[in-house]
Structures are given as structure tokens and as C-alpha cells.
Amino acid sequence: MPPDALPVGAIVPYAGPIDNPNNPNGASAYPAYGSKAYNLYLEQHGWLVCDGRTLLVAQYPELFRAIGFIHGQAGPGKFMLPDYRGRVLRGVNLDAQGPDGLPRDPQDTERTASNTGGWSGNQVGSVQDDAFQAHEHLYQKAIALKPLGYSGSGAFTDYATPEPQTDGAVMPTGYNPTITIRQAPETRVKNAYVNFIIKYSQRPRLFGPLLDDAFAQFGGFDF
């Protein structure tokens, strides 16, 4: 792929490993996770991992021109990468509406900044915690017996909605085959882990950041 095929600031899912102290594979033919070999390889090809780290504007000027302080400001001359670890990406709502006439993200104005100085509300870079849509389940309980000896449909004369909430999982009715109810501390869809990376430059740093900076002082190279 040509180096300028994607603009600086582009985000792509990356199915390869990155530097990670929680090595899940143990001994293997791959480099040790603490060696920094994974992230160095990506950086040499113009990509950074979206892990929320702080960067110097002077070291990554192309990326700063693209994203600025959208994802946070960490002091003079410092900006922050987006942090997409453990997050599902969502398109900015802008003025989009659903069939009910409400914004597709009904709480778009309540979104928060990912870090101090970052953008919030209905803007790129804002974040939102997981939630479960407010709803209720209506059911009834019998509260009054019919006269003794009564025959007919139903043995009770009155019903009311109980106040106590139900607990535990409730199996759906009329569903075949039966399913196992999965419970967790979050509401989620079926998913798979990937690493998100961001394009920081149109010029790959083929020699690594230190040597690249040295070459740049002598006029650099055209890649």
C-alpha cells in the first residue's frame, strides 16, 4: 500500500500483537512482549498504538496537525493519543436521528472528554461509559380470592403489579431451542479483540526515531 493511501490521523484495527506486559503466550517464537519490538515495528512504518499516551508536538507534528488536543492536553507542547483499549468505536452523532425522531445517541450532549483538555459532547474524541437502557417489566400477582366454591376461569378476582423487583435471569418463553442466559457486569455484543493503531506520518521511520531525527538534521531522505 502506498504510504499516502491513508491520511494522517486514520484509525485502523490491527490484528497483530503489540508490546504488552501481560504476555499471554509464554515462550514462543515471537519476540518477548517487553522488548518493544512490536511497537517499534509499527512506528517505523508510520503507526502508533492508540493507548492514550502523551506525545510531544515537536516529535509528531503531522499527527498533531490532524488531531490537536482532541483527546487531551498534557501540558505545554504535549498532546495525547486516543485510548481505544477496551472500547467499541462509535460514529459521531452530529444531527442524525432514529425512527423515533431522537438522536441516534440520545445522550450525545452528555458525553465526556477522554482526558483533561479534550473534546466532549457531540464531537469526535468524546467518550461514554456502558449503560443499560431504562425499561420495566410488567407482571401481575393475585391479591384476592374468589368466593369459595366458585367455578370458572381463574380463582382470583383482582390483580396488582408488585413492587419488589425480580432477581436472577429469566428464561424467554416460546423460544426453541432453549438458550443459556449469560450474565456479566456489562451489556455487550459478541466481540473479538483487536488493537487500534493511528497513522502519525506519511513518511515511515525506517531507521527508528533516534536515527531518523539524526538523519533529519542532515537533510533527511525522501521516502
Q: What is the DSSP string of 56-81?
A: ETTT-HHHHHHHTTTT-B-STTEEE-
Range 150-175 average pLDDT: 61
208 lies in a domain? Answer: yes
CB 52 within 8 A of CB 106: no
Residue 162 inside a domain? The answer is no
Q: What is the pLDDT of residue 132?
A: 85
- Is this structure's pTM higher than 0.95? no
186-200: per-residue pLDDT in tens? 888 889 999 999 999
How far is it, in rounded angstroms, from Cα 203 to Cα 222? 8
| Mean pLDDT value of segment 118-144 | 83
- pLDDT tens digits, one per residue of 28-67: 566 666 677 889 999 999 999 999 999 999 999 999 999 9
Stated as kind and residue range, the H or E segment containing 198 is strand 195-199
| Cis amide linkage into residue 177, ω under 30° from 0 | yes
Would you say 53 and 74 are in contact if contact means Cβ atoms under 8 Å apart?
no
| Residue 34 counted as domain residue | yes
CB 50 within 8 A of CB 82: yes
Question: Average pLDDT, stretch 8-16?
Answer: 95
Q: Indicate the average pLDDT of the chain.
A: 80
Q: What is the pLDDT of residue 206?
A: 59
Residue 182 lies in a domain: no
pLDDT score for 219? 39
Q: Is residue 202 part of a domain?
A: yes
pLDDT of 9 above 90:
yes
Helix spans in 80-171 (H): none
| 90: containing domain | 1-128+193-223
Q: Which three cell numbers stand for residue 89?
A: 468505536
In a domain, 44, yes or no: yes
Q: With cut-offs at 50, 70 and 90, classify the pLDDT of residue 160.
A: low
Give me the pLDDT at residue 166, please.
57
Mean predicted confidence (pLDDT) in 141-155: 57
Residue 187 maps to a domain: no
* Count of domains observed in the chain: 1
What pLDDT digit, counting tens, does each position of 101-119 carry? 999 999 999 999 999 999 9
Q: Is the pLDDT of residue 83 over 90?
A: yes
| Collapsed DSSP state (helix, strand, coil) of residue 15 | coil
- pLDDT for residue 215: 40
Contact yes or no for 52/85 (Cβ under 8 A): yes
Supply the DSSP string of 75-117, one letter for each residue.
STTEEE--B-TT-------TT-B-TTSSBSSTTGGG-EESSTT
Residue 173 lies in a domain: no
What are the C-alpha distances in Å from 25 to residues 35, 111, 161, 195? 15, 37, 53, 17
pLDDT score of 184: 86
The residue with greater pLDDT, 190 or 178, is: 190
Lowest mean pLDDT across 6-10, 99-103, 171-175: 171-175
